[in-house]
Amino acid sequence: MKIKTKICGLRTPEAVDCAVEAGAAMVGFVFFPPSPRAISVAEAKALTARVPDGVKKVALTVNADDALLAEIVENAGVDVLQLHGNEPPERVFEVRHTYNLPVVKALPVEDQVDLMVARGYDAVVDYFLFDAKPPAHATRPGGNAVAFEWSLLKGFSLAKPWLLAGGLTPENVAEAVAISGAHWVDVSSGVEDAPGVKNLDKIRAFIGALDPK
């Protein structure tokens, strides 16, 4: 099975074009000001306009209120919402049905108990994203270049598909997939030269590591 990739935290036309041309199935845009990858809705609109049909455009938010979500949905040109905060299942259900868009729910993982939390969301999401728990005093819940024990996911089954995230790089993503059994992977910091600064060669190398020619 071909492994599908989401390149997240895109901020420039060059990075968007590179991700699409390299074969990303999803491209992600961050709407969370503490992140060095955050962009405005207007900036996102210009970037999503470059993305062809068939590539999903994902808006990453963290505990966003209805006003921000409405602005994103109406004006940013995205077609998937990623909830990367501590949104409970009830809030996820509300968001999914209010805005009528597929939802990715990100959940932090450190041990097997954390995976069990996903069971409570199975009926209200379209995708899960499993990320490492952020370090102490981190200012954001993801994009921290931290990995968790990939073997925790081996054989773990859910009704909905899931993405593996956290500390992935062009050098380790093939191993991460082999160990975890992931069919989807998500990367942000692992294809950067500095926080928020994407390296186009690393984007190509990351996707190429999963689909060697």
**Catalytic: 8?**
yes
**Catalytic: 17?**
no
- A 10 A CB-CB count for 114 gives 15
Tokens 């899960």 locate to: 128
- Amino acid sitting at position 49: A
Annotated catalytic residue within 8, 53, 111, 126 = 8
Distance from C-alpha of 6 to C-alpha of 207, rounded to nearest angstrom: 9
CA 80 to chain centre: 10
Q: Could you give phi then psi for residue 202, rounded to 5 degrees?
A: -70, -35
- A 10 A CB-CB count for 66 gives 11
Looking at residue 153, what DSSP letter applies? G
Distance from C-alpha of 95 to C-alpha of 114, rounded to nearest angstrom: 23
3-state secondary structure of 184: strand
Annotated catalytic residue within 79, 131, 201, 211 = 131
Q: Which residues are catalytic?
A: 8, 131
